[in-house]
Amino acid sequence: MKIRNIRGLLAAVASAALLWPLSGHAAGGGDAPAALDNATCLKCHQSGKPEIQVEDAEGEKVALPAVDTAKLAKGVHAKLDCVACHTDIVDAKEKHEKAASSAKPDCAGCHEKLWDEAKKNNQAASKERLGIVVENIAAYKESFHARPDADNPDRPKAYCNQCHATHDFAVPPAGTPEREKWRMTIPETCGAACHEDQLDDFKSSVHGKLIEKGDPKGAVCTDCHTTHEIRNSSSEAFKLKNVLACGDCHTEELHSYRDTYHGQVNRLGFVYTAKCADCHGSHGIKAGDDPKSRVHPDNRLKTCQKCHDDKKPGMVKATAGFVTFGPHANTHDFEKYPKMWIAGTFMTALLIGVFAFFWLHSGLWYYREWQERKERKTVPHVRTGELGIHEGKHFVRFARGWRIAHLAFALVTMTLVLTGTTVMFADSAWAPTVAAALGGPKVMGIIHRVAASLFVGIFLIHFVYVMSRLLRDRNFRWFGPDSLIPNWKDLADCWGMFKWFFGKGPRPKFDRWTYFEKFDYWAVFWGVNIIGWSGLMLAFPHVTASFLPGWVFNVGTLVHGEEAFLAAVFLFTVHFFNNHFRPDKLPPPDVVMFTGTQSLEEFSREHPAHYQRLVESGELEKYLVDAPSRQLHVGSVILGLTLITVGLVLLVLVVTGFFS
């Protein structure tokens, strides 16, 4: 009934135009028509005068609001005449006759008209505040409040004067104590008029208690719902913006939330994962240590199970380990999150160490090869022509299985990088576009898991195949020149390369596998275990949380993402340089991994120790074949350039995502 009376009052205000004298005589007295100035109007409508009641649209008696002249004098409308807004009032009689051609008072129309006149007269710059009002009007017209009221479809849900005291409206300047004091009256304005239940919840909340104490740190309605562009709180647009509204005050918590899968999906523009209000509540938010709080340890599992429930499609019921998951865990607060600090420190050191060494290695290598090319010093280490072998022959370096596995790895890895980094770098400008193009996070998750399964499957097939062959070969030397296991020669070769970089010695003579090729090979073993196991735990959280504490999700997310970042950047910088962008390899690509062969001259130059061993043992000719056909070579070049281009595009996305 309270809301109904208020709406009736508004109808009366619009129909009676706030100017219905109680007296049975004309306001001016006698038979002479009274002047329609402010003094005449205030004789009846000033505060302190007898209350004026009118009938609303439903026939109920409601009181018209009186005008407080002291407040009116301080308001933005102080210099206006009453009839400037109430243009339909043409007399000062007890029951006003309305001008048939005049519109009822309209706040929006009046301000829009004034703004049009200001722009027409080139006064827009001096009336900036009026322009802001017009912007607010445009926002209001698109808002939830401007929609038709359910009880009265001909009327909006809320008028301007329900929130703004139109006669004495005056918002104090921002940054002043008066502004903060005015701001703290907003909950009563919203709650007393329409949202009584929400006001009751708010008063019991941590925000409401701060406002009650006069502390402006407490959030009020407009901080979360905005002022004029208020949206339906069940709409996706509101839910997305509401997270940012919370983050305006809780900045650090917003950043840590965005590091979780919940926040990453939200940042991509989707609202099906947990948001601030899902965990903390909305109007009745309690402090974390309050026993009634949704995030209190005693209540946290129940809160998680509101989303993580068997009854919801694609979800599984949350288990006990969920309670210790840290939705706002970070890597810089050792006291609160020691495990995250340790993991973050380790991963940072790993990234810096790997990139510092190999980028330095690549830069020095490029410089030395470029200098030797300029000085025409690059010549084959062994002259194949002197051995009586046809120089047009090619050496078989990789069997078909290796080549197929390499291509499959490349395609799967690029898929994993695209889908994974889109979520990891959800804050970047490109991520929402990519996510939408791929069908959203749910579809990307399926693609990512399928690609991960293929990656692990290929790895296991390769591992089983290689191990079965090596274990059957009784002559294989595990630390010999044909083995991919690092040995002392690799350390000597690495040291020799740095001496060569600085012109302090000759370039080392590599055998079948170089030390940097071995690093590439064994990095996959490291990556499969680190990325694979952490990804498996994250993919099945209910199983993980049944046996392990919730903080493993925090550490797992961190390690999974940063190890993947390390792998992607290493592949598309160091690996590409070693195999495609060194001066001796230009122009790219090197197609040996697609054709399986390389010219004998190139093989002898790249792996002179291996070449010399084969020559001395008389086994070289076993590995010689004709050069690949032109069709195979051209196709390999096209495939190589395509993969390099895709890789470099992914590198740009990853780097921009990292710095976003």
Token reading at 402: 């290796």
pLDDT band at 567 (very low <50, low <70, confident <90, very high): very high
Q: Which of 111, 138, 170 is the last residue of a domain?
A: 170
- In this structure, the answer to whether residues 602 and 457 fall within a common structural domain is yes
pLDDT digits (tens, 9 = 90+) for 300-319: 999 999 999 999 888 999 99
Q: Flag the least confident range among 12-16, 229-233, 306-310.
A: 12-16
Contact 112, 103 (CB under 8 A): no
- Rounded Cα distance between 34 and 91, Å, is 7
Q: How many CB atoms lie within 10 A of CB 219?
A: 22
Which positions ≥6 away from 54 have C-beta within 8 Å?
A: 12, 15, 16, 20, 61, 62, 64
Q: Which of 296, 321, 346 is the last residue of a domain?
A: 321
pLDDT band at 4 (very low <50, low <70, confident <90, very high): very low
pLDDT band at 385 (very low <50, low <70, confident <90, very high): low
- Chain position carrying tokens 């650090």: 252
Contact 228, 139 (CB under 8 A): yes
Contact 644, 579 (CB under 8 A): no
- In this structure, the answer to whether residues 258 and 343 fall within a common structural domain is no
Q: Is 477 domain-assigned?
A: yes
Q: Is 180 domain-assigned?
A: no
Region of 122 on the Ramachandran plot (φ > 0 left; ψ -120 to 50 alpha; else beta): left
Residue 388 pLDDT > 70, yes or no? no
User: By three-state DSSP, how is residue 55 classified?
Assistant: strand
Residue type, 345: T
- Rounded Cα distance between 319 and 110, Å, is 59
CB-side neighbour CA atoms (13 Å) of 195: 19
From the number of C-beta atoms within 10 Å of its C-beta (0-12, 13-18, 19+), residue 305 rates as middle
Which positions ≥6 away from 242 have C-beta within 8 Å?
A: 224, 233, 275, 276, 277
Q: Is 60 domain-assigned?
A: yes
Q: Highest-confidence range of 44-48, 174-178, 232-236, 630-634, by mean pLDDT?
A: 630-634
Token reading at 527: 């990556």
- For residues 366-378, average pLDDT: 82
Residue type, 38: N
| Mean pLDDT for the chain overall | 88
- In this structure, the answer to whether residues 548 and 423 fall within a common structural domain is yes
* pLDDT: which is higher, 387 or 49: 49
- In this structure, the answer to whether residues 282 and 317 fall within a common structural domain is yes
pLDDT digits (tens, 9 = 90+) for 165-212: 888 888 888 888 888 998 999 999 999 888 999 999 999 999 999 999
* pLDDT: which is higher, 152 or 316: 316
pLDDT band at 96 (very low <50, low <70, confident <90, very high): confident
- In this structure, the answer to whether residues 260 and 350 fall within a common structural domain is no
Q: Is 343 domain-assigned?
A: yes
Q: Is 20 domain-assigned?
A: yes
- Rounded Cα distance between 425 and 417, Å, is 11
Q: How many domains does the chain have?
A: 3
Q: Is 462 domain-assigned?
A: yes
pLDDT band at 15 (very low <50, low <70, confident <90, very high): very low
pLDDT digits (tens, 9 = 90+) for 419-470: 999 999 999 999 999 999 999 999 999 999 999 999 999 999 999 999 999 9
Model pLDDT, residue 17: 38
Q: Is 453 domain-assigned?
A: yes
Residue 381 pLDDT > 70, yes or no? no
DSSP character at residue 499:
H
Which positions ≥6 away from 403 have C-beta within 8 Å?
A: 593, 594, 596
- In this structure, the answer to whether residues 20 and 161 fall within a common structural domain is yes
- Rounded Cα distance between 427 and 267, Å, is 6
- In this structure, the answer to whether residues 398 and 543 fall within a common structural domain is yes
- Rounded Cα distance between 590 and 236, Å, is 49
Of the candidates 58, 41, 17, the residue with the CA atom closest to the CA atom of residue 161: 17
Q: Which of 152, 170, 188 is the last residue of a domain?
A: 170
pLDDT band at 16 (very low <50, low <70, confident <90, very high): very low
- In this structure, the answer to whether residues 257 and 358 fall within a common structural domain is no
pLDDT digits (tens, 9 = 90+) for 477-518: 999 999 999 999 999 999 999 999 999 999 999 999 999 999
pLDDT band at 377 (very low <50, low <70, confident <90, very high): low
- In this structure, the answer to whether residues 23 and 55 fall within a common structural domain is yes
| Helix 630-658 / helix 551-570 crossing angle, nearest 10 deg | 130
- Rounded Cα distance between 567 and 617, Å, is 39
Residue type, 191: G
- In this structure, the answer to whether residues 490 and 598 fall within a common structural domain is yes
> 535 phi and psi, to 5 degrees?
-65, -35
Of the candidates 338, 327, 322, 307, the residue with the CA atom closest to the CA atom of residue 255: 327
Of the candidates 544, 576, 520, 479, the residue with the CA atom closest to the CA atom of residue 354: 520
- In this structure, the answer to whether residues 423 and 305 fall within a common structural domain is no
Model pLDDT, residue 34: 58
Residue 40 pLDDT > 50, yes or no? yes
Domain span at 553: 338-369+394-658
Residue type, 52: I
- Rounded Cα distance between 331 and 345, Å, is 8
The CATH number assigned to the domain holding 634 equals 1.20.950.20
Q: Is 506 domain-assigned?
A: yes
Token reading at 142: 């698109």
Model pLDDT, residue 587: 92
DSSP character at residue 205:
S
User: By three-state DSSP, how is residue 204 classified?
Assistant: coil
* pLDDT: which is higher, 392 or 398: 398
Residue 2 pLDDT > 80, yes or no? no
* pLDDT: which is higher, 485 or 103: 485
Token reading at 31: 């038979």
- Chain position carrying tokens 């019991």: 204
pLDDT digits (tens, 9 = 90+) for 517-532: 999 999 999 999 999 9
From the number of C-beta atoms within 10 Å of its C-beta (0-12, 13-18, 19+), residue 87 rates as middle
Of the candidates 252, 258, 259, 251, the residue with the CA atom closest to the CA atom of residue 556: 259
Strand partners, 53: 63
Model pLDDT, residue 341: 97
- In this structure, the answer to whether residues 402 and 472 fall within a common structural domain is yes
